[in-house]
Chain A
Amino acid sequence: MTSTIKKMTCRILVISMLGLGFQTARAGMIGADQAAAVQGAQSDRAAVMSVLNRSETTAQLQALGVDPQSARERVASMTDQEVHTLAQDIQTAPAGAMSGWGWAAVVIVVAAIWYFAYRK
């Protein structure tokens, strides 16, 4: 029971803190991104989801070893759509990184097969 309350409080705090930053941005002008949005306008629900996605993606990046400041900046340079996509597949999306260790892996596997299968 108490943990549910704690969780809810945390969530509300996260949303309200992030929300403050967004609301003060522009008083009356509606942004170009709203005009370009495929679905037309961004509903209130979508706005909340976007905030949640942003905090979640930031947390995921941190969990993967990015320092908190950089993680925030990196998420800030993405669109809502991109943040949403990344939140879904950050663990599985291809991460480009040729290392040269691929060759080593091949050699080790071949050596192991030879060792266990033929060297009796």
Chain B
Amino acid sequence: MTARAATRLLACALAAFVAGCAQLVPQTVALRSEWPQGVPQTVELKSVPFFPQDDYQCGPAALATVLAYSGVDITPDPLVKQVFVPARKGSLQLEMLAAPRTYGRVSYELAPKYDDLLREVAAGNPVVVLQDVSLMSPFIAEWHYAVVNGFDYPSGTIYLRSGKTERQEMPFSYFEREWMAGKYWAMVVTPPGRIPATASEDRWVNAVIAMSRVGGADAALKGYEAALKRWPGDLPAMIGLANLHNDHGEHARAISILRDAQAKHPQSAIVTNNLAQALSDAGRNSEALAQIDKISDPQSPFATEIKSTRALILQRLAQQKAGNRR
């Protein structure tokens, strides 16, 4: 074998080794060459509380950690009833997302990227992650939730509140292996007025809507207002906010939001229907009728609702007339 061939072979072997590494921990390798812009290299959120977990209770412990950090007065105990599944001896991701809503907090699932994880921590939002901590991964999985509350780029370390360890230090690469097995699943929990650093318009507004089902009117109000401050033309947020006001008898505010929404989204049948309803609730039935008659599409998916709104307005108009005659 010539020296040249040997060199070539060595180069190939080296390339294969590097490629192999990149496959093992692709995102860590990417971070090595390109650190996300604007993210400091060392962050540690020291005030993130720590709740040492009991057996199998890492879900409630991780949730309590982020909920308490977001200002809710809570311990893991009441959360056991909300997320723990006895027969599975653990907590499911979807329930982890659902539980914070009942405390008026918005849970937001992050994009499966190291960049986003780091950005959220840097922005002051501790991140709940799902790891497979089994030694025999991927053959036997042992799922675990922990909270990332810091990192240090120069030493390549991730800091976590995890299980019974208050300050777990883990290399970026090792953490990625465990996190990758959980498909890079990560979530943050924030008060409704605080939009996560990596949130996108649609997904954040959807997260607020999901919270508004069970989180109380106050929290929903704050969520919609914050969303509209950032994204003033967002249709679902405008509708959500107007509906809340209308439910609380503040028809004038609902009407003004819906008029604004109508100017921005003139083709939305929902806006027009709701505007008509709010006008009618405010006693302005002839204006309401004029609005609802603007919708001419009988194929609209909301045809049933529109028809019943129209019927209600006509009924109220008839009552008004009868009242006037008397």
Contacts and interface: CB of A to CB of B under 8 A. Distances in A.
Given A28-B308, A29-B277, A93-B94, A40 B301 contact: yes
Contacts of A64: 85-88
Contacts of A65: 85-87
Interface stretch (A6-14, A97-105, A112-120): A97-105
Contacts of A82: 94, 97-98, 210
B98 A36 contact: no
A88 B298 CA distance: 35
B76 interface: no
A76 B102 CA distance: 10
B58 A32 contact: no
A100 B163 CA distance: 10
Interface string B69-101: 000000000000111011111111111111101
Residues of B contacting A: mostly:
helix
A103 B136 CA distance: 10
B302 interface: yes
B310 to A, nearest CB: 9
B163 to A, nearest CB: 6
Contact of B243 (A32, A61, A77, A105): A32
Interface string B168-205: 00000000000000100000000000000000001001
A95 B94 contact: no
Given A97-B89, A98-B142, A106-B135, A28 B239 contact: no
Given A30-B274, A97-B143, A41 B91 contact: no
Interface residues of A, number: 44
Contacts of B96: 96
A17 B280 CA distance: 30
Interface in A9-33: 26-33
B239 A100 contact: no
A97 B144 contact: yes
A28 B90 contact: no
Nearest to A75: B98
Interface of A: 26-36, 40-43, 61, 63-67, 70, 73-74, 76-79, 82, 85-86, 90, 93-100, 102-103, 105-106
Given A28-B276, A96-B90, 12 more contacts: A30-B273, A31-B240, A32-B237, A34-B302, A41-B302, A67-B81, A74-B95, A74-B98, A93-B94, A96-B130, A98-B142, A102-B135
Interface of B: 53, 55-59, 62, 81-83, 85-99, 101-102, 130, 132-136, 140-145, 163, 182, 202, 205-206, 209-210, 212-214, 224, 235-237, 239-240, 243, 246-247, 268, 270, 273-274, 276-278, 280-281, 300-302, 305, 308-309, 312
23 contacts: A27-B312, A28-B281, A28-B305, A29-B273, A30-B305, A32-B212, A32-B224, A33-B236, A34-B270, A35-B239, A41-B301, A73-B102, A79-B210, A82-B98, A82-B210, A95-B88, A97-B59, A97-B88, A97-B144, A98-B142, A99-B56, A99-B142, A102-B135
